Amino acid sequence: MLNSIFHRLNVSRLGKVGFSTTSIYNQPKTAVLMLNMGGPETTDEVHDYLLRIMTDRDMIQLPVQGKLGPWIAQRRTPEVQKKYKEIGGGSPILKWTNTQGELMCKELDKISPETGPHKHYVGFRYVRPFTEDTLSEIERDKPERVVIFSQYPQYSCATSGSSFNSIYDHYKKNKLPSNIKFSVIDRWATHPLLVKVFAERIKAELIKFPEDKRKDVVLLFSAHSLPLKAVNRGDAYPSEVGASVEMVMKELVYSNPHCLAWQSKVGPLPWLEPATDDALKGYVKRGHKNFILVPIAFVNEHIETLHELDIEYCDELAKEIGVEQIKRAAAPNDHPIFIQALADVVATHLKSNKLINPKFLIRCPLCVNPRCSESKGWYKHICQSAI
């Protein structure tokens, strides 16, 4: 009893200072490091979060980035803080990732007891718990294996790639523990259970439309956009997002008209289009009145779903352009099928002899970032020398 109260106290204290909010008493055999960009938990963290994004050259390349990045971060802080205030004061991404990780590990202990106990860790790129701090925490726990599991199902060098590069950076400065076997799950865009959970989320919204209108509801899949510069270097993201959309539609037996659009563009340079808001306007002009927005590249709610999709598009824009009815499919969050998906991705990976995906090891055909070359060489070395 006392132990459990003490544990709960520590969970909340450690959570506040930014470490992974998981049990610190169980020694895991397998650590699952869940990588994501993260989001500010309070409006006070917004500036530093934006600063880290704007100065990360894997994420965004700006001229004189050392000066321009901090300037943009400073300028955008009040506007972004206002948006976080409007969704309740902060990002729920840490809460969701911890819930997903805890449930995933419970499931893994059941379906893969030979690799248990499993323990999840959260590694964020731009806010606490930072990946670098979490790696130190994992080392203290001394697991036999560490599975580095990207929480971006579709791979982009700007997001997943940046997180993987940060692990490489950490071990450039710190000694790699020799007794831990590392392996990588870099993408899982077409996993059948991931596809199924998106289909379930869509069906749960479709049922809310009047029966006579249901089959004409446009499913507007929306993913974070990417600069065309990155796309033209050969970034896999657009094709992997397209693959997810196609599989979800197949699961739904192509029940409705659908389209893929791209949201959250920043700055004046060209990005992937059509933008989600332009797609909505275009469809309304062409006589479509009912929509479901589907955040196909987000596994949990954050500002892009709660503010951009829910407030800016489903509420404000929909009223302005005369949409009849619009719904937004929930992100996978803690849907039981999604938890099974996470556990299955990891269990299948653990059972296989593959520690790394050959696709991960090859650079974009027109990559100009020397860090990618160094980082991929390092992953090849650590994963292959462990076989």
364 interacts with ligand FES by CB under 6 A: yes
3-class DSSP assignment, residue 126: coil
Distance CA 118, CA 110 (A): 10
Instruction: Specify the residue, 186 or 235, whose C-beta has the smaller distance to ligand FES.
Output: 235
Sole window of 14-22, 120-128, 177-185, 363-371 interacting with ligand FES (rule: CB under 6 A): 363-371
Instruction: Specify the residue, 269 or 387, whose C-beta has the smaller distance to ligand FES.
Output: 269
Instruction: Specify the residue, 157 or 292, whose C-beta has the smaller distance to ligand FES.
Output: 157
The least CB distance from residue 59 to ligand FES, in Å, is 11
233 interacts with ligand FES by CB under 6 A: yes
The least CB distance from residue 297 to ligand FES, in Å, is 17
Distance CA 121, CA 135 (A): 9
Distance CA 295, CA 301 (A): 9
Sheet holding 218-224, edge to edge: 258-263, 218-224, 290-295, 325-328
Which of the residues 234 through 253 are near ligand FES (CB under 6 A)?
Answer: 235
The least CB distance from residue 161 to ligand FES, in Å, is 6
**From 58, 133, 344, 349, the catalytic residue:** 344
170 is an active site residue: no
Quote the DSSP letter at residue 322: T
Which of the residues 93 through 122 are near ligand FES (CB under 6 A)?
Answer: none
356 interacts with ligand FES by CB under 6 A: no
Among 29, 203, 281, 363, binds ligand FES (CB under 6 A): 363
Question: Site mask, ligand FES, residues 31-60, x = CB under 6 A?
Answer: ------------------------------
47 is an active site residue: no
* Nearest partner of 169 among 180, 157, 178, 161, judged by Cα: 161
Where b means 16+ CB within 10 Å and e means fewer, 340-362 reads bbbbbbbbebbeeeebbbeebee
Distance CA 164, CA 173 (A): 15
**From 118, 191, 224, 335, the catalytic residue:** 191
181 interacts with ligand FES by CB under 6 A: no
Sole window of 47-55, 113-121, 272-280, 361-369 interacting with ligand FES (rule: CB under 6 A): 361-369
Sole window of 8-16, 63-71, 296-304, 364-372 interacting with ligand FES (rule: CB under 6 A): 364-372
372 interacts with ligand FES by CB under 6 A: yes
Burial of residue 154, with CB atoms counted within 10 A of its CB: 0-12 exposed, 13-18 middle, 19 or more buried: buried
* Nearest partner of 359 among 150, 200, 68, 109, judged by Cα: 150
Instruction: Specify the residue, 167 or 341, whose C-beta has the smaller distance to ligand FES.
Output: 167
Whether 180 and 214 have beta carbons less than 8 Å apart is answered as no
* Nearest partner of 155 among 189, 125, 126, 183, judged by Cα: 189
**CA torsion, points 158, 164, 170, 172, in degrees to nearest 10?**
-100
Sole window of 64-72, 255-263, 301-309, 359-367 interacting with ligand FES (rule: CB under 6 A): 359-367
Per rule CB under 6 A, count of chain residues that contact ligand FES: 9
Secondary structure (DSSP) of 325-367 = EEEEPPP-TT-HHHHHHHHHHHHHHHHSS-SS-HHHHSPPTT-
Among 23, 255, 348, 369, binds ligand FES (CB under 6 A): 369
Distance CA 28, CA 365 (A): 39
Distance CA 75, CA 161 (A): 27
The least CB distance from residue 159 to ligand FES, in Å, is 11
367 interacts with ligand FES by CB under 6 A: yes
The least CB distance from residue 227 to ligand FES, in Å, is 11
The least CB distance from residue 235 to ligand FES, in Å, is 6
Instruction: Specify the residue, 43 or 65, whose C-beta has the smaller distance to ligand FES.
Output: 65
Distance CA 83, CA 308 (A): 9
Which of the residues 142 through 171 are near ligand FES (CB under 6 A)?
Answer: 157, 161
The least CB distance from residue 236 to ligand FES, in Å, is 8
Residues with catalytic roles: 191, 344
Q: Which residues bind ligand FES (CB under 6 A)?
A: 157, 161, 233, 235, 363-364, 367, 369, 372
